[in-house]
Structure 1
Amino acid sequence: MSDDSRGLFGLFRRKPKNPSEPADQQPATAEQREMRLRVAEFQSLKVSDVMIPRAEIVAVDIETPFDELLKILADEAHSRLPVYRETLDDPVGLIHIKDVVGDIARQSNETASDGENAPLKRLHRDILFVPPSMSLQDLLLKMQSTRIHLALVVDEYGGTDGLVSLEDLVEEIVGDIEDEHDEDIAMLVRRGRLAWEVDARMEVDDFKEETQLDLAIEDHEVDTLGGVAFALAGRIPLRSEVLRHPSGADIEILEADSRKIQRLIVRSKPVTPETAS
């Protein structure tokens, strides 16, 4: 394990309940085991594994008027957006919402900011440019040293391939970070008498307590329903894929990407005299 990874590990090491007992001799919790796996995986990931693809990038043209810029920032709820000239293949930097707010405050008694034609020409900041092959560890160090927390991913011809933020990197280690703009989606939602939509992070024991359905798998040490699905498929299952559990329940993948499962549906079979016996 590299020095960088050991540093990350130290952030999440649990303090022992018994001060005389070393922390590394304490039994690991499910959350700690998952985070250790994430830290180990982080070392092998590249920018291309986590970047937002070009088609999903929200960015603004440098000629965008002030009032339109305010509307975009409000609608998208991002603190930083890339700035380009005519196309994404000609990026010029990024805009930070606090610079926009500060500009409004400074000019409130001077000029009418909302009438300015192209405020981004003077407000934009530098943005990082990185290749898709760069490791996440190297990008994290680059973001820390430059204090620039947004990077455009460019191909060998200089075209824009994607976008990655510091938050994307942190989420690879600690899991999804929900803020005030994220929709609050329940961990478990009943979708029928014997069907439930479930967050893949829900623990097997908690699911059993709520539904009386035990999805633990013999000879597999899995803590979450996402882990159950992974164990059944032997890989990251695809969206809409249906997996059959040994109990007879079906697990359908609702949301997933190339690295993890987000949500799934569990459908249990009704108990009959034959299945009960």
Structure 2
Amino acid sequence: MTRPRRRAVLAGGLAAFVTGLTGCGTDDPPGVTVSSGTLRSAHLPGRDLAWVLAAPDDADVRRAPVVVLHGKGGSARSTLDTLHLQDHVAATGLAVAAVDGGDGYWHARADGTDSGAMVLEDFLPLLAREYGETDRVSLLGWSMGGYGSLLLASRLGPDRVVAVVAESAALWTDPGLSAPGAFDDREDFLAHDVFARRRLATLARLPVRLDCGADDPFVAANRAFAAALPSAGLTVDPGAHTGDYWRSHGGPQLEWLRARTDAAASA
């Protein structure tokens, strides 16, 4: 039986109101408990932000969780409904967690919203309460979230991030090439450019995996990013910018993160 829980939470000095619903659903994979709820954040005001957490029931150790950032038009539920990452939780022993981030490309915008800060200041503390400490996390994202995973990893750095997976990352090599709405203007692009030298220097200290389909419109920019960050591993294989491509890579990506997580824990 599931029980709803309601409580007020202070996260990062900002008031966040959380409604949680935790328990074993009838569609949970064997050995996995899927929890969900909503979050209020001052960084995305006036919205109930849904979150999900799929955690292993019998992991041999409590490993650093994987924070998943969705693509444009997606949501926290896309982690389960589109990528089906919960299907790989029991086998890898890695919890996966996601939260609604809107379409703001996971960084501060001119309208005052900042979905990246929401993740760092509100969602990570919530995840620590729901699952365990988040002193170390991994990041995984696709499309807009692939860009976001690289951006947030460059902010948190190796003391906090175990490893990063960016799948079909929405990357552009020039402000004039970026999609409408991805950035407020040229200055916003440059302020949050993952190609920037200081961000590349931080990411070079982290294990970074890039996957992109050969027919993906972002493949050229992903190749350019891999060239700029030689420490990253890039795989370009058959596929396009589709849910089928992302779903087919979820298992191998979590296995890759599991290996890096265990290596970091034993170092």
Return the TM-score normalized by structure 1. Answer: 0.22
State the structure with more CA Rg. 1
Flag the structure with more relative contact order, 1 or 2, with Cα contacts below 8 A and sequence separation at least 6. Answer: 2
Return the TM-score normalized by structure 2. Answer: 0.23
